[in-house]
Chain A
Amino acid sequence: MSEKPILLAACEVAKHFGGVKALHDVSLTIRRGEIYGLIGPNGAGKTTFFNCLTGLYKNEGGYFVFDGNRLAADAPHKAAAVGIARTFQNIRLFGNMTAIENVMVGRHLRTNANVFGAIFRNPATRAEEVAIVRRAEELLHYVGIHERAHDYAKHLSYGDQRRLEIARALATEPKLLALDEPAAGMNGTETEALRLLVEGICRDGVTVLLIEHDVKLVMGLCTRVAVLDYGEKICEDVPAAVQKDPRVIEAYLGGSVA
Chain B
Amino acid sequence: MNRRVGKTVSWQRHWLGMLLVAVVLVAVPFVAALGGQAWVRIANFAILYIFLALGLNIVVGYAGLLDLGYVAFYAVGAYTYALLASPHFGIHLPFWVILPFGAALACFFGVILGAPTLKLRGDYLAIVTLGFGEIIRIFMNNLNAPINITNGAQGITLIDPIRIGDFSFAQTSTVFGVSINGPHKYYFLLVTLAILVIFINIRLQDSRIGRAWQAIREDEVAAKACGINTRNIKLLAFAMGASFGGIAGGVFSAMQGFVSPESFSLMESITILAMVVLGGMGHIPGVILGAILLTALPEALRYGIDPLQRMVFGHPVVDPESMRMLVFGLALVLVMRFRPAGLWPSSQRRRELSEGTH
Contacts and interface: CB of A to CB of B under 8 A. Distances in A.
Contacts of B358: 155
Interface string B225-244: 11111100000100010000
B120 interface: no
B207 interface: yes
Interface in B201-235: 203-204, 207-212, 214-215, 218-219, 221-230
A97 B218 contact: yes
Contacts of B223: 94, 105
Contacts, number: 112
A54 B211 contact: no
A121 B221 CA distance: 29
**Interface size, A (range):** 35 or more
Given A98-B3, A113-B207, A105 B212 contact: yes
A109 B207 contact: no
Among B207, B209, B240, chain A packs the most CB atoms within 10 A around the CB of: B207
B262 interface: no
B200 interface: yes
Given A96-B218, A150-B3, A118 B210 contact: yes
Contacts of B319: none
Interface string B168-205: 00000000000000000000000000000001100110
A150 B218 CA distance: 17
B352 interface: yes
Contacts of A75: 224, 229
Contacts of A152: 351
A109 B203 CA distance: 20
Interface string A105-129: 1111101011101111100010011
Given A94-B218, A115-B204, A118-B203, A109 B211 contact: no
Nearest to A100: B2
Nearest to A82: B227
Interface string B132-149: 000000000000000000
Interface of B: 1-3, 199-200, 203-204, 207-212, 214-215, 218-219, 221-230, 236, 240, 348, 351-352, 357-358
Given A76-B221, A93-B222, A132-B208, 7 more contacts: A80-B226, A94-B223, A96-B352, A106-B227, A108-B215, A108-B228, A172-B226
